[in-house]
Amino acid sequence: MLVNVLVGNVDEDPELEYLVLLRKISREEGDGLRIRFFDFDAWSRTWVPTEITNESQESESRLFPLETQVTLEDVTRDGRMEIILRPRRPSTLPNGTSGLVILAKRGRYLHQLFAAWEGEPELRDLDGDGIMEIVLHAEYADPMEPGAPVLYPAQVFAYEENTFRRVPLRRYTAHFAEFASAARTEYETLKHRLSKQPMTDRDHPALFRAIARVLLALRTQEDLERMRAYYLAERPWLQQRLPMPYLQALDDLIKPVTLLKR
């Protein structure tokens, strides 16, 4: 059993609270991470377990994957820390997450502000106001490597009225315009390099992913005409370098009937 402790102020009083992380590592069933939260009780002058609602009626939470990352962050900028859990499956990449759970102290209890177990959730300040938004991603399949899809922003949740609510992507037009610009720069840099040297099999997926990110970024902005025009201008060059399955996947992407996962 590995034990770690996080300390921070997660409520209105000036006293610090303790979050104890219990990681059970063995070959037995039930391995994983549990958290126990201790709140300072001014009357007894000691730290007492606090219940976690929406999960259990005890101070100990449900079991999370062993690789779950836990931090204390003030993502709502209200002066109080939230408990951020980033569950990650063993099969995911070292820097990738496969879930996001946010717990916040409200009154006597810890409440669940947000939970998502897919979509590679990302905490990011999209509008520069200091309050984090949550971005969920969707996947566009790589025809040659189905297990390594291209991710793109599909949903945004903003902190409103003490909870995270889904809002339209167009609210953050400036951010996603920068996202599209960065994707285009990455693609055109790769194109410049590949134009000067013979392509290898390793270059094919990199090129597909780079141009797909540009098109998906434009589609996220709902700029379908610009997406189509950009791709059709690039297609003759791509046709000389990409295998047909990649080219067909890109052709499908610009079709109006193509429905992307949201």
Cβ pair 37, 94 in contact under 8 A: no
Confidence of residue 42 (pLDDT cuts 50, 70, 90): confident
Residue 17 has pLDDT above 50, yes or no: yes
- In the listed set 71, 102, 118, which residue is the last one of a domain according to the structure? 118
Residue 255 has pLDDT above 80, yes or no: yes
From CA 245, how far away is CA 242, in angstroms rounded?
Answer: 8
**Torsion, Cα of 252, 248, 143, 148 (10° steps):** -60
Where do we find the tokens 């003490």?
A: 162
Counted domains in the chain? 2
From CA 232, how far away is CA 154, in angstroms rounded?
Answer: 24
More confident residue, 39 or 93: 39
In this prediction, residues 86-110 reach a mean pLDDT of 72
What is the 8-class DSSP label of residue 255? Answer: S
Residue 161 has pLDDT above 80, yes or no: yes
The parent domain of residue 80 ranges over 2-118
Residue 128 covered by a domain: no
Same-domain check for residues 109 and 31: yes
Same-domain check for residues 105 and 180: no
Cβ pair 213, 183 in contact under 8 A: yes
pLDDT value at residue 10? 87
Confidence of residue 218 (pLDDT cuts 50, 70, 90): very high
Same-domain check for residues 200 and 103: no
